[in-house]
């Protein structure tokens, strides 16, 4: 039995219930992976993150390549040891981060050249180099380099990015095979692009599926398109991905989007939303709406953020206390609200999994 394996355990319509196995343990799906871009979830210890129910976390190979350097992390024992997390880790290739730099990036068919946001130094990313960085970091799941254009890009730009992403994916697949495939201890996922055009999305999914990656991501959504456009593009991609492989929608973390995408057959997600919201003194409320804790309406509110929520924050503190921390700019506010927000999304995933199991 291989170390990397996706089990489809149940299905309710398109909603799926599964489990993905890695050398560092398995994680249940649908799942939400909180993001630790620089090998840390801002303000939280690994123990606090685990207490929310999170089983998989994400770090970013682009940022870690720039600082402290993938070679340094490798010398220090790899990413798991470096950040003190013993569960599964996925690293993003950095495609989105590179292309979000706009004019500081030069794209060609071989890769991208960009300037560091830290010191302005020049860096080059190719399909092989981003896998090399991730091989050095040592996560369980690595992502191929993709070309993620702006959400409002015209069709010719989207088509160019789609075709370039496929060429880069084939190069990455060849490198992965040359190194021994997932038997070397690391899975590699392909990434579907195509913007909001359903034909491009379908073509991308078909071509990626033919390359037989260990899993498949859907990138380039939730970047400015409407909810209706996202749903059409997502359906076009998901319908052409293998049922026996895990499906990953990148960069999505709002409750309503998670509910919609799991209903369309997506298995895993990641996003900075829960911790970014926490640092900005915003919490998920009972119905998934946002509670802005600086608002005066919470100054005398003795209730927890969400009645019945089992997170550390809700079990111990009132909205009034959290509002006090937020107004006083105490860093504990961001920590507690981040804990709640991650826990809230883990609870949401648990409820979605239960609905899929109920139909089994």
Answer yes or no: do 157 and 26 share one domain: yes
Which pLDDT score, from 0 to 100, does residue 153 have?
A: 87
Cα–Cα distance for residue pair 327/320, rounded to 1 Å: 11
Domain end residue (candidates: 212, 247, 271): 271
Number of domains in the chain: 2
Closest-CA residue to 221 (of 190, 255, 257, 246): 257
User: How many angstroms from the chain centroid is the CA of residue 81?
Assistant: 21
- Residue 103: pLDDT over 70: no
Contacts of 327 (CB under 8 A, 6+ apart): 294
- Residue 278: pLDDT over 90: yes
Which pLDDT score, from 0 to 100, does residue 123 have?
A: 83
Answer yes or no: do 191 and 100 share one domain: yes
Catalytic residues: 92, 270
Which pLDDT score, from 0 to 100, does residue 359 have?
A: 56
pLDDT tens per residue, range 131-185: 999 999 999 999 999 998 877 789 999 999 999 999 999 999 999 999 999 999 9
Which pLDDT score, from 0 to 100, does residue 118 have?
A: 76
Q: For helices 255-263 and 331-358, what crossing angle results, to 10°?
A: 20
Answer yes or no: do 217 and 318 share one domain: no
Answer yes or no: do 236 and 285 share one domain: no
Q: pTM for the whole thing? A: 0.96
Contacts of 198 (CB under 8 A, 6+ apart): 232, 233, 235, 236
Contacts of 294 (CB under 8 A, 6+ apart): 281, 323, 326, 327
- Residue 249: pLDDT over 50: yes
- Residue 320: pLDDT over 60: yes
Question: In angstroms, what CA-CA distances link 334 with 33, 40, 166, 338?
Answer: 19, 15, 40, 6
- % of the chain beyond a pLDDT of 90: 85
* 3-class SS string, 177-224: HHCCHHHHCCEEEEEECCCCCHHHHHHHHHHHHHCCCCEEEECCCCCC
Answer yes or no: do 179 and 277 share one domain: no
Domain end residue (candidates: 238, 271, 304): 271
Q: Kindly state the average pLDDT of the residues 25-39.
A: 97
Boundaries of domain holding 35: 5-271
Answer yes or no: do 244 and 263 share one domain: yes
Which pLDDT score, from 0 to 100, does residue 310 have?
A: 98
**Which band of pLDDT confidence, cut at 50, 70 and 90, is reported for residue 117?**
confident
Answer yes or no: do 231 and 318 share one domain: no
Answer yes or no: do 261 and 314 share one domain: no
**Which band of pLDDT confidence, cut at 50, 70 and 90, is reported for residue 114?**
confident
Q: Kindly state the average pLDDT of the residues 20-42.
A: 97
Q: What is the mean pLDDT of the chain?
A: 94
Domain end residue (candidates: 220, 238, 271): 271
**Which band of pLDDT confidence, cut at 50, 70 and 90, is reported for residue 102?**
low
- % of the chain beyond a pLDDT of 70: 97
Which domain CATH number covers 214? 3.20.20.105
Answer yes or no: do 147 and 23 share one domain: yes
**Phi-psi region at 128: left, alpha or beta (left = phi > 0; alpha = psi -120 to 50):** alpha
Answer yes or no: do 224 and 276 share one domain: no
**Which band of pLDDT confidence, cut at 50, 70 and 90, is reported for residue 115?**
confident
Q: Kindly state the average pLDDT of the residues 232-259.
A: 97
Answer yes or no: do 66 and 135 share one domain: yes
Cα–Cα distance for residue pair 127/354, rounded to 1 Å: 38
pLDDT tens per residue, range 3-15: 899 999 999 999 9
- Residue 1: pLDDT over 70: no
- Residue 360: pLDDT over 70: no
Closest-CA residue to 199 (of 207, 189, 191): 207
Answer yes or no: do 313 and 209 share one domain: no
pLDDT tens per residue, range 333-354: 999 999 999 999 999 999 999 9
Which pLDDT score, from 0 to 100, does residue 150 have?
A: 79
């Amino acid at each position: 039995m291989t170390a990397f394996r996706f089990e489809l355990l149940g299905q309710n319509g398109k909603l799926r219930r599964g489990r993905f196995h890695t050398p560092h343990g398995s994680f249940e799906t649908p799942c939400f992976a909180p993001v630790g871009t620089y090998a840390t979830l801002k303000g939280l210890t690994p123990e606090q993150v685990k207490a929310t129910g999170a089983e998989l976390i994400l770090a970013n190979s682009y940022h870690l390549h720039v600082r402290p350097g993938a070679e340094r992390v490798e010398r220090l024992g790899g990413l798991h040891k470096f950040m003190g997390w013993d569960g599964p880790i996925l690293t993003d290739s950095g495609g989105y981060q590179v292309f979000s730099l706009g004019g500081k990036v030069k794209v060609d068919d071989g890769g991208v050249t960009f300037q560091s946001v830290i010191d302005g130094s020049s860096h080059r990313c190719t399909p092989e180099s981003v896998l090399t960085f991730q091989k050095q970091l040592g996560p369980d799941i690595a992502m191929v380099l993709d070309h993620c254009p702006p959400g409002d890009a015209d069709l010719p730009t989207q088509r160019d990015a789609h075709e370039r992403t496929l060429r880069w994916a084939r190069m990455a697949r060849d490198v992965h095979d040359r190194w021994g495939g997932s038997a070397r201890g690391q899975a590699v996922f392909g990434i579907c692009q195509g913007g909001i055009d359903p034909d491009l999305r379908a073509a991308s999914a078909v071509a990626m599926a033919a390359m037989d990656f260990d899993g498949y991501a859907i990138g380039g959504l939730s970047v400015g398109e409407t909810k209706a456009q996202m749903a059409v593009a997502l359906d076009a991609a998901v319908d052409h991905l293998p049922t026996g492989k895990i499906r990953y929608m990148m960069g999505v973390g709002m409750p309503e989007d998670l509910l919609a995408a799991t209903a369309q057959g997506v298995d895993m997600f990641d996003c900075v939303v829960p911790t970014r919201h926490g640092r900005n003194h915003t919490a998920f409320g009972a119905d998934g709406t946002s509670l802005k804790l600086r608002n005066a309406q919470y100054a005398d509110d003795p209730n927890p953020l969400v009645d019945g929520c089992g997170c550390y924050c809700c079990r111990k503190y009132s909205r009034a206390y959290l509002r006090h921390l937020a107004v006083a700019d105490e860093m504990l506010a961001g920590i507690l609200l981040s804990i709640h927000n991650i826990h809230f999304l883990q609870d949401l995933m648990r409820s979605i999994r239960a609905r899929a199991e109920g139909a089994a």
